[in-house]
Amino acid sequence: MDHFETHVLRRPRSSPHYILLDDLHTIERPNKRGNQDVGRWERLLTDVIAEHDERRIVFTALSRSAVRERFEETGVADVNGGPFGETRMLYPMGFSDFLKMRYRDIELAPSTERFDESAVRKALREAVETGDADRFVAEIEAQNGDAITDSSTVRREIANYCTSGGMLTLRIAGDDVSIDEEQFVDIIRGRDDVDFESHQRELLMGFRNDLLHATTNLGGVKDALGLERFCALTAHEHPTGDVRFDELTDVLNVDRRTLRDKYLSALSRLHLLSAAQEYDNQRPRKLRFYLRDPGITNAFCRNDLNDVLRREPGLDEALAKAVAFDHTVRLSNELNHPHDPKRGVVKFWVGSKGAVDFVPKIRGTPVPILWSHNRALDELQMSRYTPDFDALREFLKSDAYESERDRVDEQMYSPVTDTFTKQRRAYVQQDEYGGELSDDGKATFDGEPAFGIVVSNARSALDEGITVNTDDSKPIIQIPLWTYLRLE
């Protein structure tokens, strides 16, 4: 940086400027004598900022929590008398951005004709806080009409995204392939002389390198191969239901604590694989887990678009459900404050007959979401055997929320610092927060749910759009999958 300012820019101590640093954690170089302050990236970063009052740094690191912990450990709360700055989550490309790459008209359309996801998210938050779903329904109906609305096109693009995901799509784009042209579909379909598997091999190579660096820098995990094996197992089995802890620990040859505190913690913080715990169960024996990017799943299994569409029974549903889970976690992170203990938490609930697949919380209030791959809301209402839909209705009538707890001193299976724990306690005690702090101050309870959601990829759901069932005291809203995925 000194060399650049002096010999390239030729203006030492220049006016306000920005410096972009990618993968800052890779410069870590601990002192051989054991002085941990030497070579730690947060110290180096602080020195760089302190040298120049008008210098601004934008950097990436492994995880948001790792950044926060480093600064709290070293007592670096502010620099030059001001706050150090803000941190943001960076995810692999989601479906909304993928759709914009595929159809440039979405971005070029007048602002009044574009899908405004921020307006819909705001309406969802207000609906949860007020207990009135009408505002959310009206907003999402108003926004749900832009250039791509026919169901065949929508389902095709969901299948395309479920094949390549975000990471692999960007790698293909990096090879001078226009994502908005048919050449991209030819590649992920493996047509003619196109070697889709070579792209997948490169993706897995980068994936392995990232895991190796992550285990070195996140700390606590020494077995990068074990993490990869867990991901590969998930990809090949693509479980969509409950898995017993004991079965998983036997297959991976680790104990439950290692599975939770090492494997799930590291993979969740890296947004590679995340688990859903059971709602209202403080001693769960089962969990659900999903690979967050479908491109990784298909790279492990060498699946292409043909496999997703018809060759592998059940594969399309498993991939779509994993994508829905991933985008639910993103939505939770987007809608909740960083100090909310329930931020990024998505659980599943087991009823007397079936289960509710996703239960995120918004400002302390649960929003039960049922995943329905092939049946729309009206069909679920009329069918006799609908155990999972019955579970959704049961959840809305139950008082499970009263005993549901989320710890304030833990995040993604890892303990958080005392400072962050205090910030979380203070946040949940605000009057407008839906949940409440437990008497011992160690956990937060949920508020009462106001409505439920059915996310469906059925063709009829795509044609019907947003519908509402008001048979019970609390409404159930149908949201087509492609609309739901655009909320994150």
Residue 88 forms part of a structural domain: no
Structure tokens at 325: 């889970």
Amino acid code (one letter) for 70: R
Shared domain check, 69 and 106: no
How confident is residue 39, by pLDDT bands cut at 50, 70 and 90?
Answer: low
Same domain flag for 145 and 236: yes
> Residue 406: which of 339, 337, 345 has the closest Cα?
345
Let me know if residue 390 belongs to a domain. Answer: yes
Say what percent of the chain tops pLDDT 70. 91
Residue-number span of the structural domain to which 42 is assigned: 2-83
In a domain, 89, yes or no: no
- The CA distance from 363 to 379, in Å, is 32
CB 347 within 8 A of CB 277: yes
Q: What is the pLDDT of residues 433-469, one digit of tens each?
A: 999 999 999 999 999 999 999 999 999 998 888 999 9
Last residue of a domain, one of 48, 83, 118: 83
Q: Is residue 90 part of a domain?
A: no
Give per-residue pLDDT as tens, 251-296. Answer: 999 999 889 988 998 899 889 999 999 999 988 889 999 999 999 9
Q: Of 83, 112, 136, which residue is a domain's last? A: 83
242 lies in the same domain as 114: yes
Strand duo 476-480 + 452-456: pairing: parallel
Q: pLDDT, tens digit, for every residue of 162-212?
A: 999 999 999 999 888 899 888 999 999 988 677 899 999 999 998 998 888
Residue 263 belongs to some domain of the structure: yes
| Cα 409 to Cα 250, 342, 421, distances in angstroms | 29, 11, 5
Per-residue pLDDT at 79: 43
Same domain for 162 and 34, yes or no, is: no
Q: What is the DSSP string of 301-320?
A: HT--HHIIIIISTTHHHHHH
Tokens of 201: 């091999």
- Is residue 209 in a domain? yes
Average pLDDT over residues 45-58: 80
Q: Are residues 76 and 194 in the same domain?
A: no
Average pLDDT taken over every residue of the chain = 87
Q: Tell whether 150 and 282 lie within a shared domain.
A: yes
Q: Which residues touch 133 (CB under 8 Å, ≥6 apart)?
A: 127, 450, 451, 468, 475, 477
**Which residue type occupies 40?**
R
What are the residues facing 288 on neighbouring strands? 276
25 vs 422, residue with greater confidence: 422
- Shared domain for 58 and 26, answered yes or no, is yes
Angle at 13 between CA 12 and CA 14, to 5 degrees: 90
Tell me, yes or no, whether 320 and 180 share the same domain: yes
Give me the mean pLDDT over the 373-379 stretch.
95
Residue where a domain terminates, one of 50, 83, 116: 83
Residue 54 pLDDT > 60, yes or no?
yes
Asked if residue 9 has pLDDT above 90, the reply is: no
Same domain, 47 and 188: no
Is 238 within the bounds of a domain?
yes
Residue % of the chain over a pLDDT of 90: 58
Q: Is it the case that residue 30 has pLDDT exceeding 60?
A: no
Model's pTM, two decimal places? 0.90
Same domain for 207 and 249? yes
Co-location of 163 and 62 in the same domain: no
How confident is the model over 298-309, as a mean pLDDT?
Answer: 94
| Number of structural domains found in the chain | 2
Residue 408 lies in a domain: yes
Contacts of 305 (CB under 8 A, 6+ apart): 159, 160, 163, 185, 188, 189, 190
Q: Indicate if 470 and 438 belong to the same structural domain.
A: yes
Task: Supply 199's token pair.
Answer: 């792209």
Length of the chain: 488
pLDDT value for 37: 53
Residue 28 has pLDDT above 70, yes or no: no
